[in-house]
Amino acid sequence: MPLQVIRMAATLAPHGALGGALVDAAILGFYFMLRGGEYLRTSTLSSHPIRLCQVQFKTHTGPALWAWQAPLPSLLECSYGSITFVTQKNGHKGAAILHHVSGDPLLCPVRALQRRVQHLRSNGAPSDTPLLATLDSSSWVLPTSTQLTTLLRSAVSHLPNLSYLPSDVSPRSLRSGGAMALLQAGEDKMVIQMVGRW
């Protein structure tokens, strides 16, 4: 899945907190090569969504700052963002994946993390709140895999020059798309395996 699909999804996403969460879900799913149960509400029992307390930020020379407790203005100035994976399919606990800002104000893993943290913190979310959750009335609600699939398929239908159909796309496409982007950029296969946690 090319990044142009995610950019198109951003233009088609519904306004408001849910739309923002879905766009950030697509960005984080692509760059961090996430499995559906790591960031979306799915129907499987293996769902362990990433939480606010698993996110850190840092500057080039400064110490790591936990997203749930460091001053928000300091977090928003950082150029690195990471997620620590506490539960993984491969059995390795505590692995952290770090990204640098991409230079694109929208399609950037660090800026997407910052937007999610800002949303959670400004709404008083506790540290164990799922990263992609949005506040609905008085409870936190996680976007579903079906909602993200619908948005991605709509984006593909608006891009007629792609070599696949909307029905070929799901959140899983983001994971494989991120891996393919690294491969096409000439990244070592072992690095791709490490980032994707295979």
81-123 pLDDT, tens digit each = 999 998 655 556 778 999 999 999 999 999 999 999 999 999 9
pTM above 0.95, yes or no: no
Nearest to residue 3, comparing CAs of 24, 29, 30?
30
Give the mean model confidence (pLDDT) for residues 159-185.
94
Position 86 scores a pLDDT of 86
Position 44 scores a pLDDT of 65
29-82 pLDDT, tens digit each = 999 999 988 999 887 656 789 999 999 999 999 899 999 999 999 999 999 999
Position 151 scores a pLDDT of 98
Domains delineated in the chain: 3-196 (1.10.443)
Percent of the chain with pLDDT over 90: 81
Residue burial 121-151, b: 16+ Cβ < 10 Å; e: rest? beeebeeebbbbbbbeeeeebbbbbebbbeb
Give the mean model confidence (pLDDT) for residues 158-177.
94
Position 88 scores a pLDDT of 54
